[in-house]
Structure 1
């Protein structure tokens, strides 16, 4: 890592950067109606060349995605090669998109010098059609049909395919594929490692064409694997040589070559043949026995090593090993990270073999163990250590190359049919206001399959966990979203590719501050670089989301999806929604900007003015939430002791939306402490506070001076002691928000529903602990009860900060129990509840494991990192590998 602080450094060139799903993404959608799922469905993926990226099974690539190395499998039963994970598209699933496979990221280091991935491959034919048909027939209120429901995994009739990658040096990689038959009978298996170039030559923008070809063995070279050598030449990457052999050194039965180009006939019914050896040629040759499908000349832009294992006995393993080495004439020997000499890249004209794979794997695995022994504190119990390491592994495996030039995408490619005119329509066209966005970067994704695209607020949470293992990458991610080719010129941060102009909660400043501290609070250059761009983002919020100048903010759904009666992003033009959460987020944003400005002012007084700016902005937001302002809007309900959104009608009348949800809890997170040193070192700030107390006391209700032993500090908070007590009584009530494994997003008091009449229309909303019962956001998202990690973390942090200011403060916990508990202890308890989602119970099963995962020794050892968790049971829901923000469990474990 010291040798590779940026993603352009050599040790980071290769990694698991290929997506698990490229089909069905906005980038690949050139339709008139924006239906990405239908325009490029799964059934096209093995036949059709992608425009912007690649996907694969356990695949690695260079950081620009030019050359990819992934896994192909065939069990002799499937109707196609298993080259990528299968799942239902949004329109196909009764609860939205959903992956229908089982796999786990087992381990990885930040530079990808070592990684391990386990894929569970059924021995029976994969039931593609049945999964589609049965889920289409299932209603919204029914459970989704999963792979394990169809019996194909019964009696452990599957292969566990363990893929390990390691680097002997920056440009020398080894791969071991180990398949274990866990079933009761012998079963056949074909293993087909595949190497291919992303298609960059078919779009009329760059006609340079890379090439793969079979390289004959050197005369007299009898080393294992020396005969199975493929060379890959690319104008930017140079030349690589790849060898493959079984664990015993046997060569593959054949090496098959084709082109990474679309099968025009199969996909479009075209009479234009295109390439006679298209992208699906290996599938046609192996699965369908089509003679002449692959190129007999042993050249192309895609190839596969075909290893046949006709009968793998129960409990037996088969092994395939590969080595991919950059050919550099006169290359010097490289040292391993730990200093031990390892096999080095060959010079031109020297054969590369699969020898030395074991040595490289052992060295890098040992270094990974040593690395994580320093990352994860030694006092952490073994099972929590296991969970944290798996979470870090999943975060590493979800780093994916994201290529997308909105301008090129809107224009279309020179040799392709022009995109429909509707794409250019500023009113209806997708992302037409984001033509400046142009990314070709490795980005931390929410997960590899269901969310193979970034969401800026997700990325912010990812970086907090990532900072424990790779602070340089965490900083780079935060800076990237603020660069001029990502951040809009008006200051807005891109939301997500389905609509970059949507609004995510402003958590970026908080993440920058967290990463700064987790990295030792030394990198003020990073703070300055991000702070200056975040001031633009702050101004965008002020200008766009508080049009009335009331210091009460709107923002639409703000990532909270269907937590309200209606879609908060789709209101009539003459109606305004003043939002408790949007206003709280802005207070939270103000406090973080204030704390950052104070840190910078400590070293340069030129930042003093920023401190007072953000202080006053916070205090004015606090004033607006304290009581009805000039616009007559109030968010606090004195009778309920809770904050609610307020709907403002054209005639100026207002009505509170009395739904007790995360929306009303978020004011608690806007709390911060101004440390003692500020009063002596930042005179401008000190004088401003004194002036406000003396001249504008009505603005200082959110400012609490803390005098201790001749030292002065202050707490800034949206929620005073009395309101905090009343809000915590609800938050810590087991009949409302407090659940066995965290805090619910909607009060369980609404189990029987809550109704409202708004604008003459009746609305109703129910607490739903599990999957969504509403199609408001496609049916695949649900904040109406489940436990979400990001908001839980922020509320826990807020309690901990409040406890620092008031170390003796107590609260009844749980509500109604009669037990008075310190706020700091409540924060610890809530933290432990979240961690408990991943720890085995007495029966070995982890509460957060999705219900459809079978149990037993082969399953229970693998923690899953779901998108959210059932508000009553803790069972994992949504995306089953959404370790982006759920990976915050590693942060909780490592910080204690």
Structure 2
């Protein structure tokens, strides 16, 4: 048992972690405007001056689990108009492809308890080009590339600092901090470093609230000591090493209070406000900081002169131990080295299989990104809507999420990304939990559990989607993730946590009922679904009313529900092994699946079917107000999602659940109409297994009804879905054959767009019309493996289509998996596809080329990363794919 694994058994080791957001400004939580324009109400410019209400942000920082006490870095290169306290990016209205962070930072390492963490920020030595980035990106339209920070020239001639930060815990409440500054440029440069400790402002919003305090506790030759006293956190001490052994480190103090004078033209409640350090360091305002050396925000003040190629190191120590005689003695470096070694041993134990060094590096950074992207999320919707006792009553027009007044969150949650998406997204979260379960099953289970608790789940059973609209509808993948995490933990530790499985299952019964009642308008087992997380996948904005009237019968919505049925069936059968009551639940979901499968394939002569026999593909069907129907013949992920609804039943399992087996056999004998062409319940596959699937597959001679082969032929066609880097969300067929739909003089088009979206839907920053997305690719891989489990080695398909090369479905799944991981690995020229072509420093510079970014999605033709650059969340699935490949010796 590794040292880190032992720490995982004691939750106190997680009491401090990277729970600080990279962006709090511009979020719904901080928006108190009448219009609901979060980006415009609380801007980056104001973030230096205004105290936040619901959370804090900082540069590569940490906090306690309730984000009461926070620590992060602030930097100044001598040129910028403001301190670099937080990351900058374009807002939703400024970017030509939506919001976008314009910084280079990398999460390099983290253990699950955060006993060791490492990250890197690249800071230009020239003035940061805030105005240039905004103006140029606003000038460009959606057909142009984004204007990136590297494009501005501020990194030319390597004129930048690499600022590394490492955290290592000597014990759960004793955190060693090492800051390493490297001058990559050709000249001596000065950098101001302000390691900052502050309290989240919780006192301005409540009457008679007790206020915490920071004060200078001690000064010694070689270091200074800050004391932090909080009524809930208790006392902590920050030891700040001096750059001279004969002197103490200078400390600046102010209050974490809004500068009302600068922002609103009103009187300040204190002369010492949030932006004091900006004014002191940059403008020389000595009176901006508190000479009494107390406050709620403080920073050690270092001015480093760093020669070309030179490194300088700063040590700090945040501890619950007062009056440490020698906080930076030999024990400091010893503990730091020990935690680094613990991390190496832990990850070797997580992935003990033979693995190429590049694969291991990608996997390690994927885990680091997932673990660094944990964030404290505090949000009481009812309080936010009504306002605080000490603030004016909000305007009536501010109604966002007004049907979610029960939602009162205060948790550490896995975020898609702590800048572009610093709020949870339910279906993203489900995918995060798969690789997280490989290293920390308890945290993965906790994430899935809290989304079904009463302070998140709506009383009607809906799971909240995401902060901008909790009532939007994400694909119902929670049951799938619950089952997968349960099985991963069983494999990793041998533990079968049926309590977790049963608790989540019970709440998902409510969610399933909500889906059935809200999203099946005609009771025909064909689902509309709406948005379903696939922003630009279809002809219309599926979150809005259709321009034609009527509604969509969604191939993907119906398929997600079929998959949901099978996931719930699988869980119920597992629980039924110890409690026969769950056999009835398993039967319920078995029957519901059959009805959905029948609806998908045999709606009736008077209706247009979702399945198009001529094309051999599933499509959405538009139902007009007069009852007429029309297939929307877009070859997209919508038609591939039916593959996700597949499971196999082991003969040994069926013997353990006789009640369910009896009901299954009754259906086989009595309901031929339901089982025909939708489920291989009667024909037994490899190992006498039974299979339930929307896409029927024949074991022997190919039949016209073999939907699996029809879909796979398109899926594996490199002129359609199969890219060198995975499966595209839209067939490349539409590059030359765009789909056009006309209604009331208006034209709606779907073109193949392998990169950024040209559509303004969802802010223009999300695109399903061609790129490669890891979550749906991962589900395709799993589904193909399940089909292989039933069909065996003899069932083969041409891969790629037309190549003359035949593979069984396990080999096909492996091929797709390898194409996905290829995105991050160096090719024969040493270039990583994720960074695109050209002579970028990412491809050639030794100080860039080994740092991996895990983007939101990837170019459908060349694999380049697009969208959010740090969405390690679901793209972190690459860690699981690499593990599978190495485990099977691929």
Q: Is the shorter-chain TM-score for this pair beyond 0.5, marking a shared fold?
A: yes
Q: Who is 1:330 aligned against?
A: none
Change (3 A) 1:318 1:477: same
1:582 to 553, 557, 569: 557
1:266 to 257, 262, 267: 262
Q: Distance in 2 between matches of 1:241 and 1:502?
A: 44
TM-score, normalised with respect to structure 1:
0.94
Following superposition, the deviation at residue 854 of structure 1 comes to 4.3
1:233-632 equivalent positions in 2, closer than 5 A:
233-246=229-242, 249=245, 251=247, 254-270=250-266, 272-309=267-304, 311-326=305-320, 345-346=321-322, 351=325, 353-355=327-329, 356-423=331-398, 429-520=399-490, 522-572=496-546, 574-629=549-604, 632=607
Q: Who is 1:137 aligned against?
A: 139
Give yes or no for the alignment of 1:653 onto 2:650. Answer: no
Instruction: Give the conservation status (yes or no) of the 8 Å contact 2:280–2:286.
Output: yes
Q: Distance in 2 between matches of 1:403 and 1:281?
A: 26
Instruction: Give the conservation status (yes or no) of the 8 Å contact 2:675–2:681.
Output: no
Instruction: Give the conservation status (yes or no) of the 8 Å contact 1:679–1:712.
Output: no
SS at match of 1:859: coil
SS at match of 2:640: helix
Gapped runs of 5+ residues in structure 1?
Answer: 327-344, 424-428
Q: Distance in 2 between matches of 1:201 and 1:323?
A: 27
Following superposition, the deviation at residue 634 of structure 1 comes to 1.1
The Cα offsets for residues 78-126 of structure 1, whole Å up to 9 and x where unpaired, read as: 1111111100000111110000000100000011110000000101110
Q: Distance in 1 between matches of 2:679 and 2:135?
A: 59
Q: Who is 2:691 aligned against?
A: 715
Q: Distance in 2 between matches of 1:80 and 1:739?
A: 44
Following superposition, the deviation at residue 850 of structure 1 comes to 5.7
Q: Distance in 1 between matches of 2:496 and 2:841?
A: 44
Instruction: Give the conservation status (yes or no) of the 8 Å contact 1:849–1:863.
Output: no
SS at match of 1:848: helix
Following superposition, the deviation at residue 821 of structure 1 comes to 1.3
Query: How many residues matched?
Result: 862
Give yes or no for the alignment of 1:871 onto 2:860. Answer: yes
Q: Who is 1:335 aligned against?
A: none
Q: Who is 1:893 aligned against?
A: 882
The Cα offsets for residues 474-521 of structure 1, whole Å up to 9 and x where unpaired, read as: 000000100000001111000000000000000000000000000016
The Cα offsets for residues 413-454 of structure 1, whole Å up to 9 and x where unpaired, read as: 11111111112xxxxx21011000000000000011000000
Instruction: Give the conservation status (yes or no) of the 8 Å contact 2:680–2:696.
Output: no
Change (3 A) 1:631 1:571: farther
Give yes or no for the alignment of 1:765 onto 2:750. Answer: yes
Following superposition, the deviation at residue 703 of structure 1 comes to 2.5
Q: Distance in 1 between matches of 2:141 and 2:411?
A: 40
Q: Who is 1:339 aligned against?
A: none
1:624-703 equivalent positions in 2, closer than 5 A:
624-629=599-604, 632-701=607-676, 702-703=678-679
Instruction: Give the conservation status (yes or no) of the 8 Å contact 1:252–1:306.
Output: no
The Cα offsets for residues 765-817 of structure 1, whole Å up to 9 and x where unpaired, read as: 11000001110111100000000000000011111110110112100111111
1:822 to 808, 824, 832: 808
SS at match of 2:167: strand
Q: Distance in 2 between matches of 1:32 and 1:709?
A: 61
Q: Who is 2:888 aligned against?
A: none
Change (3 A) 1:832 1:706: farther
Change (3 A) 1:375 1:658: same
Q: Distance in 1 between matches of 2:327 and 2:36?
A: 48
Following superposition, the deviation at residue 20 of structure 1 comes to 0.1
Following superposition, the deviation at residue 284 of structure 1 comes to 0.5
Farther off after superposition, 277-286 or 570-579: 570-579
Gapped runs of 5+ residues in structure 2?
Answer: 698-705, 886-890
Q: Distance in 2 between matches of 1:251 and 1:160?
A: 26
1:183-222 equivalent positions in 2, closer than 5 A:
183-205=185-207, 207-217=209-219
Q: Distance in 2 between matches of 1:881 and 1:139?
A: 24
SS at match of 1:774: coil
SS at match of 2:570: helix
Q: Who is 1:857 aligned against?
A: 846
Following superposition, the deviation at residue 547 of structure 1 comes to 2.1
Q: Distance in 1 between matches of 2:218 and 2:761?
A: 59
| Aligned alpha-carbon RMSD (Å) | 1.7
Q: Who is 1:86 aligned against?
A: 88
Following superposition, the deviation at residue 318 of structure 1 comes to 1.0
Farther off after superposition, 620-629 or 573-582: 573-582
Following superposition, the deviation at residue 760 of structure 1 comes to 5.7
Q: Distance in 2 between matches of 1:444 and 1:675?
A: 34
The Cα offsets for residues 685-739 of structure 1, whole Å up to 9 and x where unpaired, read as: 1111111112111111222147669964210000012111111111100010000
Following superposition, the deviation at residue 845 of structure 1 comes to 2.2
Instruction: Give the conservation status (yes or no) of the 8 Å contact 2:460–2:510.
Output: yes
Q: Distance in 2 between matches of 1:765 and 1:245?
A: 59
Q: Distance in 1 between matches of 2:36 and 2:681?
A: 54
Q: Distance in 2 between matches of 1:545 and 1:248?
A: 67
Following superposition, the deviation at residue 675 of structure 1 comes to 1.1
Change (3 A) 1:32 1:745: same
Instruction: Give the conservation status (yes or no) of the 8 Å contact 1:478–1:508.
Output: yes
TM-score, normalised with respect to structure 2:
0.95
Q: Distance in 1 between matches of 2:778 and 2:243?
A: 46
Q: Distance in 2 between matches of 1:256 and 1:798?
A: 58
Q: Who is 2:703 aligned against?
A: none
1:786 to 763, 766, 771: 771
Farther off after superposition, 658-667 or 630-639: 630-639
Change (3 A) 1:352 1:263: farther
The Cα offsets for residues 334-374 of structure 1, whole Å up to 9 and x where unpaired, read as: xxxxxxxxxxx34xx55563333211110111111110001
Q: Who is 1:98 aligned against?
A: 100
